[in-house]
Structure 1
Amino acid sequence: MNFYSKTDLFRWFIYNECNIWRNFKVAFSKDVANKEIASQMKVPDDYDVSKVTKEDLKWREYPHEENKQYFKSLRVFYQDTNNVEVVKSLQTPFDYSFEGIRKWWKKINIAKKKFEQSYLQDRNKILGNELAAAHFIVYRGGAIKFHGDDVWIKADENKNYNLPEYYVRNKYIEAIDCTNTDIYYEALQNFQELKFLKWLSLNDCENLDDWCIDTICGAHYKSLVYLDLRNCPNITERGLVALWKMEKLKILYLDDILRSTQYEMTVLLLQEYLPQLEIKVGDFAEDD
């Protein structure tokens, strides 16, 4: 018969005591963590879904993702394309009233239009940047004119128009008329590579805002000579500030330079910074 020595028994006792103490510490730490998470998850009485920001959504992630054993909570429902608006819509009760359904349907249609106006790389690979932009504009009711050609190309009532359906060399868009077209910011990505664009009319494009003007200035500040911004209510003095980059701009159409004190001062400063620029107000001299 084998008998354990006192040393072996002592080691066995210490080992079991350590295991018990370690298990107790793990259970205690988990309980503390759960209580802390529960306290953070309590919804305050003044909680408003419409005021949720990106900072408020940081609870969905652990402090850092360098340690790969940690994963985002709610990973089943979360994707990289999610944003604050999606979370807001999921947390906001649906309005079943007639007005609520009308707003919901309008929002769906706007999202569909924005998706349809997105930049398509395959289209540009087949047609080239110039013809791809021409097809995009003419199909949506606008008109274009190529460099060295005095004829404006526009679709008829049945959306039929005459444009090459394959890549053609030495075709460069010189002028774009987007008057009264239902375009959004996403549509401007199709104009980025037009290096010889001189004439651009955005008259009555109500969906365009200050961000759109900044995008246009960043892409065409070396070539644009004529710009029409009439009947664009969402373009403010903040958008006009970006026009200081337009070193070749000579004609700018606006509705009214007296909309506000800030708007008027911005126009005056713009005129001082660009002495070659002629700012026209109202509906006249359409043949410029």
Structure 2
Amino acid sequence: MFRHSINSFIYRSLLTPNCCYFSSQIAKTNVNLVKSDFKQQQQQELSVKTETNELTTTQETNVLSEEDKRALAMVIKSPVDLDTYWEMALKEKKFVKKQTILDKKGGISTDLLKFLHHKYDISIPGIKRRLRYYIEFREIYNQRYINRRHTIIGPELATAHLVVYRGGRVQFRHAPNVWYTKCKQFPNIYDERYRLTVVDASNIKLRYEALDNFILLNSLQELNLSKNKHLDDFACDKIARLFRNSKNLTTLDLSDNPLITSRGIETLHRIRSLKKLIISRTKAANYPFIDLLIILFTDVNPNCEIIIK
């Protein structure tokens, strides 16, 4: 706006009767104005270039050392890679704190005071309770879903390893009459031929966390989960969610699982391919309205037969 006002003022001054100029003189004044604006722009560009050059020179002079680069890379790591980084760091550097009895001044250390203030139950029931907790924790940890195992050998062989290692047995589609009972019989890499058709996971102390391994078993036809006393209604809901889109699962054995009730059996109606469901010697089998439950179940899945005894 200021530039336009100056131009209009110059034109008015040139066109006044006291100072009448020719059109060539007016054109010269316009050219001079344009040249002055162009010079201002060049000066601004030169000042910006000098500032950028100074920044680059300062960056070149302040080159990061290798240790600083490593520290910077540790900070910039994405959240996805952070867990793997910390696992590697913990493996390389074992952060073990030394427990001391006396401090530097010769007095009682805080580690000893913490140990003495903790209430330890050294009675026989307390020791048994602690052992039970440790055994349960180890079972849950060993039955967890391991992503590395599933990516290397595939979900079929990973599930077979989990079941066979704990005393179960499996059958594959390429060998329908052969029971695999040892992990040495499986390949160490992914093989397309190994498609699970029958899984006998009875009496191997399976827990809810182990069912995360039973994924993408599209060829599975029979699943035996009997005599696993830790499986409950939540496990039934997990099975129903895993096999809700299955077209081949026809037989499911949940007998001798005392924690399974009628609520867990209700969730299994989502498996439309079921033709035989065995729930003998469970809480659901002793449900007083079990006949009504069977009627409701068969309304949704009329091809399924529920065996109570």
TM over 0.5: yes
Residue 299 of structure 2 corresponds to residue 276 of structure 1: no
> Do the aligned residues in 1 keep the contact of 2:161 with 2:183 (CA within 8 Å)?
no
Q: 1:165 to 1:233 in 2, by over 3 A?
A: same
> Do the aligned residues in 2 keep the contact of 1:209 with 1:234 (CA within 8 Å)?
yes
- In structure 1, runs of 5+ residues without a counterpart are 1-91, 283-288
Q: 1:94 deviation in Å?
A: 4.6
Percent identity between matched residues is 30
Q: 1:195 to 1:160 in 2, by over 3 A?
A: closer
Aligned-residue RMSD, C-alpha: 2.0
Given the alignment, which residue of 238, 243, 249 partners 1:220? Answer: 243
2:212 is paired with a residue of what secondary structure?
helix
Q: 1:253 deviation in Å?
A: 0.9
Q: Deviations over 1:235-264 (max 9, x none)?
A: 111100111101110011121565122444
Count of aligned positions: 188
What residue number does 1:115 align with?
141
Written as runs of structure 1 = structure 2, the 5 A alignment for 1:208-247 is 208-221=231-244, 222-223=246-247, 224-247=249-272
1:145 is paired with a residue of what secondary structure?
strand
> Do the aligned residues in 2 keep the contact of 1:237 with 1:262 (CA within 8 Å)?
no
Q: 1:112 deviation in Å?
A: 0.6
Q: 1:132 to 1:258 in 2, by over 3 A?
A: closer
What residue number does 2:16 align with?
none
What residue number does 1:162 align with?
185
Distance of 1:108 and 1:275 partners within structure 2:
45
2:175 is paired with a residue of what secondary structure?
coil
1:241 maps to a residue whose letter is E
Q: 1:193 deviation in Å?
A: 1.9
Distance of 2:221 and 2:154 partners within structure 1:
19
1:162 maps to a residue whose letter is Q
More helix by share: 2
Please identify, of 164-173 and 202-211, the stretch whose mean Cα deviation from structure 2 is larger.
164-173
Q: 1:154 deviation in Å?
A: 3.5
Distance of 1:152 and 1:265 partners within structure 2:
40
Q: 1:128 deviation in Å?
A: 1.3
Written as runs of structure 1 = structure 2, the 5 A alignment for 1:1-150 is 94-150=120-176
Question: Computing the radius of gyration over CA atoms, which structure comes out larger, 1 or 2?
Answer: 2
Distance of 2:255 and 2:174 partners within structure 1:
27
Q: 1:150 deviation in Å?
A: 1.8
Q: Deviations over 1:61-96 (max 9, x none)?
A: xxxxxxxxxxxxxxxxxxxxxxxxxxxxxxx95533
1:261 is paired with a residue of what secondary structure?
coil
Distance of 2:119 and 2:287 partners within structure 1:
38
> Do the aligned residues in 2 keep the contact of 1:141 with 1:154 (CA within 8 Å)?
no
Q: After the TM superposition, which parts of structure 1 deviate over 4 Å for at least 4 consecutive aligned residues?
A: none
Given the alignment, which residue of 211, 215, 231 partners 1:188? Answer: 211
2:280 maps to a residue whose letter is D
> Do the aligned residues in 1 keep the contact of 2:171 with 2:180 (CA within 8 Å)?
no
- In structure 2, runs of 5+ residues without a counterpart are 1-117
Distance of 1:206 and 1:262 partners within structure 2:
23
